[in-house]
């Protein structure tokens, strides 16, 4: 199955490392943001924006583009890092994040930031909105694919499953959902706050194709994204097992780093961990 | 009374307009045989999506369809649409400014049989407070047919309030309708009744009865509650110096609230709101009786006009 060249894997891993550095620097500079869930999803975002998505950064509204919804909108630093590095706007804009009159809002705003396909921040909407997008694509035979990245804690909300039923009813194979399953949410471990298990069986019983991967293994991510495109009778969910705060030693698996910015001392350690001196 | 229920006029017009604009898609939440979006469903099965009893999801799917270039029209009972799906409407429709049309059916107390769980007496208030939202409350089945194409062709979120019932007939033929514009239906110098929805017909009747007592009362149809016609409100306040609002809604936050906000900041003339007092409603054998029992009777409008005129005289 290892049909992707090693050079691509290494390249995307390097992109992911850069996205982690950008995210953590943005969060530190702003003194606010959500490091844990940005770091956990960085590998998936690198794979999507630098390999998988059929997009034109110079033409953000291109009608046939693949769509992406960051349903866990609080990981906005990561999305902005990906969009900036991909060329939707200058990376110099990163420094403006959260200030007045910037296009980079606290949470993603589709009307302000080029490349943001849907406004998010309140959890739960991505699957249902993505189903609507995929439905429209299907009706018009546009051929674009819709990707939705959801958090694991988000799956505690009923509307995720309402949306899952819609996608299954209309056999929306043009929709792929990725669950960033880092098992940590604001108040603690997901399995303590409100357990999701058996998560695979849940999605299967909603008539979705379920793939399970290590969400930090680039080869597994790419192969799962490829497999999802080969499924033509139902939507696909990729359950990506990840580590909250991945790559920053003192943040890994710590709920406290869900929504707290590192201070001036901590950022130095974080950047060292990420290989940026 | 009109021979045609508002919902039926709406359902027929929606189905007819589906022919004219192919981008229109229709969603319902297992109420299509009640909202009568099923007329559209029968005609355009490929453009109709029944999402089941999941109103918030219905709104979110509509937002996605709008982002895909469709013009989705969501049909749900008003109470559920505006309360259960309120956060979806705020975030994914208004804030994200998706081109979603929201039809709140069975509004007011028109679902007389089912009672307060299914009555929408707060929907105008909650829709009105949302930035980007336009709120339309047609007076009768003819005005609904006039508004629908206008609403569909408007680029942005609109809340359309529809009664389950037939109302007192107001319009013979389709009136010209315009966003942000109220329409003077009856001239008068002594007082003005600004009304919306099923209360417009009742207000005309109240004005007729008042005329028998020598009171000349304006009647304004304010079917566009947001954006509200400030110019017309100020003009009528200057002309009459006494204003009554009439709506099939709580007296808090609806048309009465909107008019009061305008007057309080400009020309604070004596004013009274006819509507449902701050309490839950009940059931009845028919909508007209229930409206009367809820304080929405013609007599309530007449008394309110006399009250504001007396305060004006003082």
Q: How far is A115 from chain B (nearest CA, A)?
A: 13
Contact A136 B64 (CB under 8 A): yes
Supply the pLDDT for residue B282.
Answer: 95
Contact status of B96 with chain A (Cβ, < 8 Å): yes
**CA A99 to mean position of chain CA atoms:** 23
| Contact (Cβ atoms closer than 8 angstroms) between residue A93 and residue A104 | yes
B2-22 burial string, b = 16+ CB within 10 Å, else e? bebbbbbbbbbbbbebbeeee
Rounded to whole angstroms, how far apart are CA atoms B273 and B88? Answer: 30
| Contact (Cβ atoms closer than 8 angstroms) between residue B145 and residue B170 | no
Number of other residues whose CB lies within 10 A of the CB of residue B33? 11
Contact B91 A132 (CB under 8 A): no
> For residue B69, what is the nearest residue in chain A, using CA coordinates?
A136
**CA A217 to mean position of chain CA atoms:** 15
Contact status of B66 with chain A (Cβ, < 8 Å): yes
Number of other residues whose CB lies within 10 A of the CB of residue B85? 25
Q: Is the ipTM of this complex over 0.90?
A: yes
Low-confidence stretches of chain A (pLDDT beneath 50): none
> For residue A159, what is the nearest residue in chain B, using CA coordinates?
B57
Number of other residues whose CB lies within 10 A of the CB of residue A239? 23
Strand partners, A177: A148, A237
> For residue B96, what is the nearest residue in chain A, using CA coordinates?
A119
- Assign residue A15 the CATH number of its domain: 3.40.50.970
B116 shares a domain with B56: yes
B296 shares a domain with B253: yes
| Contact (Cβ atoms closer than 8 angstroms) between residue A38 and residue A94 | no
B212 shares a domain with B122: no
Chain A residues whose C-beta is within 8 A of a chain B C-beta are 63, 67, 109-111, 117-119, 121-122, 125, 128-137, 139-140, 142, 159, 162-163, 165-166, 170
Rounded to whole angstroms, how far apart are CA atoms A115 and A99? Answer: 19
Q: What's the half-sphere exposure (Cβ side, CA atoms, 13 Å) at A103?
A: 17
Strands (E), B56-207: 71-77, 101-105, 134-136, 158-161, 183-186, 191-195
> For residue B61, what is the nearest residue in chain A, using CA coordinates?
A132
3-state secondary structure of B221: strand
Q: Which residues span the domain enclosing A240? A: 6-273
**Model confidence, pTM:** 0.97
Q: Which of A109, A117, A125 sits opposite B60 (nearest CB)?
A: A125
Rounded to whole angstroms, how far apart are CA atoms B238 and B172? Answer: 30
Give which of B51, B57, B90, B132 to mutate to test A binding, by max A Cβ within 10 Å.
B57
Supply the pLDDT for residue B2.
Answer: 86
Q: Which residues span the domain enclosing B222? A: 183-313
- Assign residue B141 the CATH number of its domain: 3.40.50.970
Supply the pLDDT for residue A2.
Answer: 65
Domain count along chain B:
2
Q: Using an 8 Å CB-CB cutoff, list chain A residues near B60.
A: 125, 128-129, 131-132, 159, 163
B156 shares a domain with B16: yes
pLDDT tens for each residue of A114-156:
999 999 999 999 999 999 999 999 999 999 999 999 999 999 9
Supply the pLDDT for residue A188.
Answer: 97
Supply the pLDDT for residue B49.
Answer: 98
Supply the pLDDT for residue B164.
Answer: 92
Residues in chain B: 314
Supply the pLDDT for residue B129.
Answer: 98
B153 shares a domain with B66: yes
Contact status of B202 with chain A (Cβ, < 8 Å): no
B280 shares a domain with B209: yes
Supply the pLDDT for residue B133.
Answer: 98
Q: What's the half-sphere exposure (Cβ side, CA atoms, 13 Å) at B6?
A: 31
- State which of B161, B194, B223 marks the end of a domain: B161
The verdict on residue A1 lying in a domain is no
Supply the pLDDT for residue A1.
Answer: 52
- Assign residue B229 the CATH number of its domain: 3.40.50.920
| Contact (Cβ atoms closer than 8 angstroms) between residue B259 and residue B232 | no
The verdict on residue B195 lying in a domain is yes
Q: How far is B269 from chain A (nearest CA, A)?
A: 40
| Contact (Cβ atoms closer than 8 angstroms) between residue B124 and residue A158 | no
Q: Which of B46, B60, B97 sits opposite A159 (nearest CB)?
A: B60
Domain count along chain A:
1
3-state secondary structure of B194: strand
Contact B66 A111 (CB under 8 A): no
Q: Using an 8 Å CB-CB cutoff, list chain B residues near A139.
A: 25, 46-47, 68, 70
Name A203's Cβ contacts closer than 8 Å, sequence gap at least 6.
A164, A210, A237, A239
Q: How far is B176 from chain A (nearest CA, A)?
A: 33
Rounded to whole angstroms, how far apart are CA atoms B85 and B60? Answer: 9
The verdict on residue B224 lying in a domain is yes
DSSP-derived pairing of the beta strands B48-50 and B71-77? unpaired
Q: Which of B60, B67, B95 sits opposite A163 (nearest CB)?
A: B60
Q: Is A223 exposed, middle or buried (0-12, 13-18, 19+ CB in 10 A)?
A: middle
DSSP-derived pairing of the beta strands B134-136 and B224-226? antiparallel
pLDDT tens for each residue of A11-22:
999 999 999 999
Low-confidence stretches of chain B (pLDDT beneath 70): none
Smallest Cα–Cα separation from A35: which of A221, A240, A275, A254? A254
Contact status of B94 with chain A (Cβ, < 8 Å): no
């Amino acid at each position: 199955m290892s049909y992707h060249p090693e050079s691509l894997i290494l390249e995307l891993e390097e992109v992911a490392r850069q996205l982690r550095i950008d995210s953590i620097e943005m969060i530190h500079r702003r003194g606010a943001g959500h490091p844990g869930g940005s770091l956990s999803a960085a590998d998936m975002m690198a794979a999507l924006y630098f390999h998988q998505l059929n997009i034109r950064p110079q033409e953000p509204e291109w009608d046939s583009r693949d769509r992406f919804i960051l349903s866990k909108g609080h990981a906005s630093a990561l999305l902005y890092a990906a969009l900036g590095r991909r060329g939707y706007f200058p990376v110099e804009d990163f420094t403006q994040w959260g200030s007045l009159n910037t296009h980079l809002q606290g949470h993603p705003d589709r009307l302000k930031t080029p490349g943001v396909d849907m406004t998010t921040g309140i959890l739960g909407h991505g699957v249902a909105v993505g189903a609507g997008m995929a439905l429209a694509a299907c009706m018009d035979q546009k051929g674009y694919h819709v990707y939705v990245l959801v958090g694991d804690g988000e799956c505690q909300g009923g509307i995720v499953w309402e949306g899952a039923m819609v996608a299954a009813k209309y056999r929306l194979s043009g929709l792929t959902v990725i669950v960033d399953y880092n098992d940590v949410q604001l108040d603690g471990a997901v399995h303590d706050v409100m357990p999701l298990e058996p998560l695979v069986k849940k999605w299967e019983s909603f008539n979705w194709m379920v793939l399970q991967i290590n969400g930090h293994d680039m080869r597994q991510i790419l192969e799962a994204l490829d497999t999802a495109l080969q499924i033509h009778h139902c939507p696909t969910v990729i359950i990506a097992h990840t580590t909250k705060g991945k790559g920053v030693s003192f943040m890994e698996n710590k709920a406290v780093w869900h929504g707290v910015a590192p201070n001036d001392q901590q950022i130095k350690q974080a950047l060292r961990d990420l290989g940026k001196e | 009374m009109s021979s045609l229920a508002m919902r039926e006029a709406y359902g027929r017009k929606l189905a007819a307009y589906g022919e004219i604009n192919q981008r229109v898609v229709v969603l319902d939440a297992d109420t299509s045989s009640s909202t009568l979006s099923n007329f559209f469903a029968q005609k355009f099965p490929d453009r109709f999506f029944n999402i089941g009893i999941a109103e918030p999801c219905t709104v979110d799917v509509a937002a996605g369809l709008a982002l895909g270039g469709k013009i989705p029209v969501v049909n749900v009972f008003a109470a559920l649409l505006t309360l259960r799906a309120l956060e979806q409407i705020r975030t994914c429709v208004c804030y994200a400014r998706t081109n979603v049309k929201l039809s709140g059916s069975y509004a007011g107390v028109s679902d007389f049989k089912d009672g307060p769980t299914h009555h929408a007496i707060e929907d105008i208030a909650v829709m009105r407070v949302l930035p980007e939202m336009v709120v339309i409350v047609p007076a009768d089945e003819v005005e609904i047919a006039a508004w629908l194409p206008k609403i569909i062709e408007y680029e942005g979120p609109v809340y359309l309030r529809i009664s389950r019932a037939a109302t007192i007939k107001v319009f013979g033929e389709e009136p010209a309708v315009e966003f942000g514009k109220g329409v003077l239906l009856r001239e008068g110098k002594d007082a003005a009744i600004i009304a919306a929805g099923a209360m417009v017909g009742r207000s005309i009747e109240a004005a007729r009865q008042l005329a028998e007592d020598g009171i000349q009362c304006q009647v304004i149809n304010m079917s566009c509650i947001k954006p509200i016609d400030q110019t017309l409100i100020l003009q009528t306040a200057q002309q009459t110096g006494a204003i009554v609002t009439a709506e099939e809604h709580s007296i808090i936050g609806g048309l009465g609230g909107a008019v009061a906000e305008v007057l309080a900041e400009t020309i604070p003339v004596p004013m009274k709101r006819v509507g449902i007092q701050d309490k839950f409603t009940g059931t009845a054998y028919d909508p007209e009786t229930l409206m009367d029992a809820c304080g929405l009777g013609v007599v309530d409008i007449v008394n309110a006009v006399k009250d504001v005129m007396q305060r004006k005289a003082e």
